[in-house]
Amino acid sequence: MRLAPLDWIIVVASLLICFGPALFFGRRASRSTSEFFGSGRAVPWWLAGLSMVATTFSADTPNLVTDIVRRDGVAGNWVWWAFVLTGLATVFFYARLWRRSGVLTDLEFYELRYSGTAASAVRGFRAVYLGLFFNCMIMASVNLATCKIAGILFGLDRWQTLLLVGTLNVTFAAFAGLWGVLVIDMIQFFMKMSAVIAAAYFAIMSPQVGGLDALITKVSAMKGPGGLNYLSLLPDFSSNWDLAVAVFIMPIAVQWWSVWYPGAEPGGGSYIAQRMLASKSEKDALNAVLFFNIAHYVFRPWPWILVALCSLIVYPELADIQRAFPNLDPKLLGHDIAYPAMLTFLPVGFLGLMVGGLIAASSSTILTHLNWGASYLVHDFYRRFITRDADERHYVRAGRVATVGLFVCASAAVYLLDTAKDIFDVILQVGAGTGLLYLVRWFWWRVTAWCEIVAMASSFIVSLTLLVLKAQGVVFSTHAALLATVAITTACWVLTAYIGPQTDRAVLIEFYRKIRPAGPGWEPIKALVGPQAEGEGENMPLALVGWVAGCTAIWSALFAEGNYLYGRMPQAYLLTGIFIVSSLVLVQVMRKTHAQ
């Protein structure tokens, strides 16, 4: 595909608008690691929230949603819609606690909450495991999506794409620090939303589709594997039970609280925690995470879903995509590549906007992961265990070196992946069983660093055992493997909480005084603190009401949008009413929470 001169002008203008402002933050980022990794703890809620949304709006996300819709229908998106429960739990139960902790990274939390060499060991191990290996897997999936898009639109090889995006992203991530990342994210969010809405509009209006009504009519007449109804918002529990279990029952019943996944961590973590910790206040941290969840689940999904549904009409089979793009590397062919294939319907001007938006989508995620990963490697490993007494500028330079190294490693990992869905499944499986611990550790004094070690080890061992059994021909379904991993991991760390080494009482008392966690889980420590502990802590019943109201508001808004698009007006009106009522309750809860 060749871009017209107008497209190139728009692409260049988009990049200048996105990245230009970040140049003004280089000097500020060089002052200290607090500025480079934490923006001096001065970020307003709206900027932190927009950055969270932009980070999860990566180049591979539309591809992932397209893959899900083409395989499992619209209802297949429950594998990530279920994480609404996780996100709203972070808003009402954890956001203020994170900001109150005062740590620079969420891994520093380990030595605030636990004691002894085990606490240090967990912090150091997770700094390398998450900051390097896990982080590179995430960036590799984003880079893979970028390579597929560039292969479709421009015929570029993987190495050419990686060289181009790497030069851009590494330069700005290393120079501008978190402030630069946040400002770039803010601009990119609006650019990307404009681009994906345009992509959905022109896909729907393409001659093969023929408009929104024609799209709904044509897709309604199509049936997927096992009689799959592509348009259904809920899976078919009567005739396709296995799919219903995989995409709905397991995510809603187990996955949201048991699985650790970046951006939807039980209790908050990774770059979500980084934004909360960088916020100006507890109020800003709470508002930022709430805005993120609303924008993530309400504003963005349907433009992606509409393009995916259009692709079912234009490219019903993968062979149709291969015929349309004969020069495409066969190794890149998959259902996820249908999204970039649909971008060929964009007219001059809008194609330039989409290319600029895709570069922005890739950059916003990569920039965050580079800064976040470097913060772990430098602050939680290098500074903590190797060089402890250097000046701040030394650690900023180390952060910049780590930034370059991370992108090189992530680029190498691109050649090991096939689709965005592959990496999504791997991450969910490896992180299975640890989520409950991350929820409970704030509210139960018995959780120790050894619980974390046992949880990570048991989750890994079970996952590895399942892989070995699969190689020997013993195959478990995805949900059976997840249940086994969760059950064994949870049993192991809970047992460790009772029979393993305990956290030093002085550390527990200091943690309780600083964080003031609510609930009965800290009663023995509260008794040691004395009368000054009375009346402290969160209003848990109010937080629970906010959690339920928030989840209801987001899901009802999401599905009201879908029913309006489908032309199902009675259902749309009912869901709109539910959204209004739950939103009013949510507003009242927020007012009372901020007044505490």
Do the beta carbons of residue 311 and residue 204 sit within 8 Å? no
Do the beta carbons of residue 179 and residue 35 sit within 8 Å? yes
Do the beta carbons of residue 57 and residue 304 sit within 8 Å? no
Residue 203 lies in a domain: yes
Residue 440 lies in a domain: no
At 172, list the tokens: 């700005």
Whole-angstrom Cα distance, residue 396 to residue 34? Answer: 9
Residue 480 lies in a domain: no
Residue with tokens 């701040």: 392
Q: Is 223 helix (H, G, I), strand (E, B) or coil?
A: coil
Q: State yes or no: pLDDT of 239 exceeds 80.
A: no
Q: How many CB atoms lie under 10 A from the CB of residue 328?
A: 18
Residue 515 lies in a domain: no
Instruction: Name the band, by pLDDT with cuts 50, 70 and 90, for residue 484.
Output: confident
The confidence score (pLDDT) of residue 174 equals: 85
Do the beta carbons of residue 256 and residue 37 sit within 8 Å? no
CA 118 from centroid of its chain's CA atoms: 28
At 32, list the tokens: 């200290």
Residue 112 lies in a domain: yes
Boundaries of domain holding 236:
5-256+268-417
The confidence score (pLDDT) of residue 533 equals: 55
Residue with tokens 């290319």: 355
The confidence score (pLDDT) of residue 493 equals: 94
Q: State yes or no: pLDDT of 536 exceeds 60.
A: no
pTM value?
0.87
- % of the chain exceeding 90 in pLDDT: 46
The confidence score (pLDDT) of residue 303 equals: 95
Whole-angstrom Cα distance, residue 149 to residue 64? Answer: 13
Across 216-230, 251-265, 396-410, least confident range = 251-265
CATH number, position 349: 1.20.1730.10
Across 164-168, 237-241, 340-344, least confident range = 237-241
Mean per-residue pLDDT for 535-553?
86
Instruction: Considering only residues 467 and 414, tell me which one the structure prediction assigns the higher pLDDT.
Output: 414
Whole-angstrom Cα distance, residue 104 to residue 93? Answer: 20
Q: How high is the mean pLDDT of the chain?
A: 87
The confidence score (pLDDT) of residue 250 equals: 86
Cα–Cα distance list, 161 to 103, 196, 340, 424 (Å): 37, 21, 15, 22
The one-letter amino acid code at 353 reads L
Q: State yes or no: pLDDT of 347 exceeds 80.
A: yes
Q: How many domains does the chain have?
A: 1
Residue 405, classified by CB atoms within 10 Å of its CB into exposed (0-12), middle (13-18) or buried (19+), is middle
Residue 156 lies in a domain: yes
- The 10 Å CB-count burial string (b at 16+, else e) for 498-517 is eebebbeeebbbebbeebbb
Do the beta carbons of residue 287 and residue 50 sit within 8 Å? no
Residue 173 lies in a domain: yes
Residue 523 lies in a domain: no
Q: State yes or no: pLDDT of 155 exceeds 80.
A: no
Mean per-residue pLDDT for 455-460?
86
